[in-house]
């Protein structure tokens, strides 16, 4: 399968780092897709649908490739928390998450340019936040880190100070559930880090 390239259809530096850490060789192709979602859809449908849309958009521009695309959201009480609009929105989000358990959902889609086959799944991880003080929220938001992250925090960075524990795949919370992705790449596409 060395004749096929692995493509990551994402501009996320976190997803890129995860794949690099796992030993995959790949190229990055950023797609520009409309991420407007139907509010009637469940969070699972939203992330899986967006991941599939991103994968299909990248496949249309490539040949001889297997494309990986993903979308991650934070869900609290059944409602999606996207990326904060600004610092005030980040403070509000982190205040709602404080002391509670929420879900991080990542939809992953893998598409093959040979035949257009698309496989997808959704991974869910429960994250329990600490009962942190307002001063920690204010400090964290002042770093600017929350503004490009779903739910307003990144577990792999300073935002880890906000987290008490997780149940599920840590890498899913960062943005790419590599265990299930690796299984899918080997089983369905014959691709592995040692190729």
Mean pLDDT across 3-19: 91
Q: In a 10 Å sphere around its CB, with 0-12 CB exposed, 13-18 middle and 19+ buried, how is residue 22 labelled? A: middle
pLDDT band with cut points at 50, 70 and 90 for residue 23: very high
| Per-residue pLDDT at 33 | 86
Question: What are residue 104's phi and psi, to 5 degrees?
Answer: -110, 120
pLDDT for position 21: 93
Under a CB-based contact definition with an 8 Å cutoff, are residues 131 and 94 in contact? no
Residue 79 has pLDDT above 70, yes or no: yes
Q: Check pLDDT > 90 for residue 53.
A: yes
Sketch the domain layout of the chain as residue ranges: 5-189
pLDDT at residue 122 tops 80: yes
Rounded Cα distance, 8 and 18, in Å = 11
For residues 46 and 39, give the distance between their C-alpha atoms in angstroms, rounded to a whole number: 9
| CATH class of residue range 5-189 | alpha beta
| pLDDT recorded at residue 130 | 98
| Coil vs helix vs strand at 120 | strand
77 is catalytic: no
pLDDT at 32: 84
Output the average pLDDT for the chain. Answer: 93
Catalytic option among 3, 71, 86, 183: 71
* Both structure tokens of 74: 């934070």
């Amino acid at each position: 399968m060395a004749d096929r390239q692995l493509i990551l259809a994402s501009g996320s530096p976190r997803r890129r780092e995860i794949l690099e850490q796992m030993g995959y060789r790949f190229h990055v192709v950023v797609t520009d897709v409309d991420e407007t979602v139907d509010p009637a859809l469940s969070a699972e449908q939203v992330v899986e649908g967006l991941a599939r849309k991103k994968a299909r958009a990248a496949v249309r521009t490539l040949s001889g490739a297997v494309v990986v695309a993903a979308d991650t959201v934070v869900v609290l009480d059944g409602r999606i928390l996207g990326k904060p609009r600004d610092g005030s929105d980040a403070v509000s989000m982190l205040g709602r998450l404080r002391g509670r358990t929420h879900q991080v959902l990542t939809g992953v889609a893998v598409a093959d340019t040979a035949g257009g086959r698309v496989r997808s799944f959704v991974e869910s991880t429960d994250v329990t936040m600490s009962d942190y003080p307002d001063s920690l929220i204010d400090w964290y938001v002042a770093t600017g880190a929350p503004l490009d992250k779903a739910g307003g925090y990144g577990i792999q960075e300073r935002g880890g100070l906000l987290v008490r524990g997780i149940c599920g795949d840590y890498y899913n919370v960062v943005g790419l559930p590599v265990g299930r992705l690796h299984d899918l790449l080997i089983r369905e596409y014959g691709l592995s880090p040692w190729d």
